[in-house]
Structure 1
Amino acid sequence: MDDSHTHDRDSDRSHDHGNDAAHSHDSEHSHDHGNDAAHSHDSEHSHADDAAHSHDSEHSHADDADHSHDRAGSTDESPDDLKARARALQSLLVEKGVISTDAVDEVIRLFEDEIGPMYGSRVVARAWSDPAFKERLLEDANEAVAEFDFEIGQQHLRVVENTETTHNVVVCTLCSCYPWSLLGLPPTWYKTPSYRSRVVREPRAVLSEFGLDLESDVDVTVWDSSSEIRYMVLPQRPADADTCSEEELADRVTRNAMIGVDRVNDP
């Protein structure tokens, strides 16, 4: 199931929903729903100008409406609010004997020191170095990643490629679905309602706030991760990739580039 929002290069807002449920922003607002544009979370996928983006009743995308998911972040919580909630939940689970502080510390250490974005960067470097692997990765990411010496669990992964004319960025408008096993711990900003709603409606503005100002002839596609499918961006291949080893290329790949809010720049 694909759920993407495409913003054409002229940055005016409209919707064109084709077979992949892509959302295109052309020069005027129109709707064209293809055969496969149904996207169901709880009941049905619909698109209405005045509807908020909801996964409790129907999935809708509005140009001027906030993207909310009922109780899942109806207020614009700050990073400090999210951290406080996580600490409170951790304390409660430790107090009830469900988990131990040592177990929490070990999981954090694992993701920070051993996983981080390192696994994802190895996948990207391999794709830049091996065209056949890149083709397999874009066709069936789970099968391609299985060639490595690490596991990504049961999640359904899809990799989308940045090119000279298309830039992809990933969000989870529902909560914070994210390919942990490849990118490590999700950044705090990824989980905020502000990012989750604004990047769908005004991706260029959000990317600019990250320091990424895209050329006017580059289309932006926003991919909505969910519990059913997780997206990862394959950054555009650097010009000097042929002169670098996979290890050298992997060192240049960042977590933010694999989310799509950054680029891997040429040296």
Structure 2
Amino acid sequence: MQDDHKHDHHGHDDGHGSALSDTELRVRALESLLVAKGYVDPAALAAIIETYETRIGPRNGARVVAKAWSDPAYRDWLLRDATAAIAALGFGGRQGEHMVAVENTEATHNLVVCTLCSCYPWPVLGLPPTWYKSPAYRSRAVIDPRGVLAEFGVGVPADRQIRVWDSTAETRYLVIPQRPPGSEGLDEAALADLVTRDAMIGAGLARQPGGDA
């Protein structure tokens, strides 16, 4: 089965044409100024960014996924109107407008990319990872998504379709990963602990219960 590359090239109007959005450019400029003046230790800044990028930020999205796993009515709402369903949990705002949720199943694996820059749903996933913004990922995710996923350690069966979703300034995507087996008795808080940032981009899978954090 051939992979289905779904492209949605709407107008990229928030810094598109460059690798960074206007917000990111301002943040980088401020970061450079603070470091240059000696107000911020670059190592400490890197540690803070790493924390928000991989731990604190994605917790919002993890809560959304956990509720979708445990509440069929919420899952249906999330798939029908992700922006409203996510906002109902208190997550929204700039970079989180016009959200679309796509669900991984036994038949389909979804992968999110932004081919023209690095559009990313900050309110639910925190800071975008460095690799998401790299030209290599942005081009290869479209050309060879199965190979890219293999490099992330995600082996997708040959008979499973891969759909590639292209984020834009107007539309950003959240992947609902497959719920791992053995998680049936867990509450929403425990389920959220299984949801990784990469799984919500489609570049990873949910953790197994009892596995490493």
TM-score by length of 1: 0.63
Higher relative contact order (CA 8 A, sep 6+): 2
Distance in structure 2 (CA, Å) of the matches to 1:190 and 1:39: 18
Picking from 80, 93, 106, the partner of 1:139 is: 80
- 2:93 aligned partner: 153
Deviation at 1:185, TM superposition (A): 1.0
Asked if the contact 2:110–2:164 (Cα under 8 Å) also holds between the matched residues in 1, the reply is: yes
Cα shift readout 1:71-109 (whole Å, capped 9, x = no counterpart):
535xxxxxxxxxxx98862356669xxxx96xxx7x959
- 1:49 aligned partner: none
1:72 aligns with 2:18: yes
Residue 153 of structure 2 aligns with an amino acid whose one-letter code is G
Picking from 96, 119, 123, the partner of 2:64 is: 123
Cα shift readout 1:103-148 (whole Å, capped 9, x = no counterpart):
xx7x959945984210000000000000000000000011111221
TM-aligned CA distance change 1:114 to 1:163, over 3 Å: closer
Distance in structure 2 (CA, Å) of the matches to 1:10 and 1:197: 18
Distance in structure 2 (CA, Å) of the matches to 1:157 and 1:242: 27
1:90 aligns with 2:30: yes
Distance in structure 2 (CA, Å) of the matches to 1:178 and 1:38: 14
1:200 aligns with 2:142: yes
TM-aligned CA distance change 1:40 to 1:186, over 3 Å: closer
Asked if the contact 1:128–1:241 (Cα under 8 Å) also holds between the matched residues in 2, the reply is: no
Structure 1 runs (4+) deviating above 6 angstroms are 85-88
Distance in structure 1 (CA, Å) of the matches to 2:153 and 2:182: 23
SS state at 1:243 partner: coil
Which structure would you say has the larger Rg? Answer: 1
Report the RMSD for the aligned CA atoms in angstroms. 3.5
Q: How many residues align?
A: 196
1:263 aligns with 2:205: yes
SS state at 1:231 partner: strand
Distance in structure 1 (CA, Å) of the matches to 2:59 and 2:99: 17
Asked if the contact 1:166–1:220 (Cα under 8 Å) also holds between the matched residues in 2, the reply is: yes
Deviation at 1:187, TM superposition (A): 0.7
Larger mean CA deviation between 153-162 and 86-95 belongs to 86-95
1:1-267 equivalent positions in 2, closer than 5 A: 9-10=1-2, 23=5, 39-41=9-11, 72=18, 89-90=29-30, 111=52, 115-148=56-89, 150-154=90-94, 155-267=97-209
TM-aligned CA distance change 1:261 to 1:112, over 3 Å: closer
Deviation at 1:178, TM superposition (A): 0.4
Cα shift readout 1:162-204 (whole Å, capped 9, x = no counterpart):
0001000101111111011111111100000000000000000
Q: Gaps (5+ residues) in structure 2?
A: 20-24
TM-aligned CA distance change 1:188 to 1:139, over 3 Å: same
Asked if the contact 2:54–2:197 (Cα under 8 Å) also holds between the matched residues in 1, the reply is: no
Q: Gaps (5+ residues) in structure 1?
A: 1-8, 12-21, 25-36, 43-54, 56-69, 74-84
SS state at 1:160 partner: strand
What fraction of aligned residue pairs are identical, expressed as a percent? 49
Asked if the contact 1:10–1:216 (Cα under 8 Å) also holds between the matched residues in 2, the reply is: no
Distance in structure 1 (CA, Å) of the matches to 2:68 and 2:111: 18
TM-aligned CA distance change 1:140 to 1:207, over 3 Å: same
Residue 41 of structure 1 aligns with an amino acid whose one-letter code is G
TM-score by length of 2: 0.78
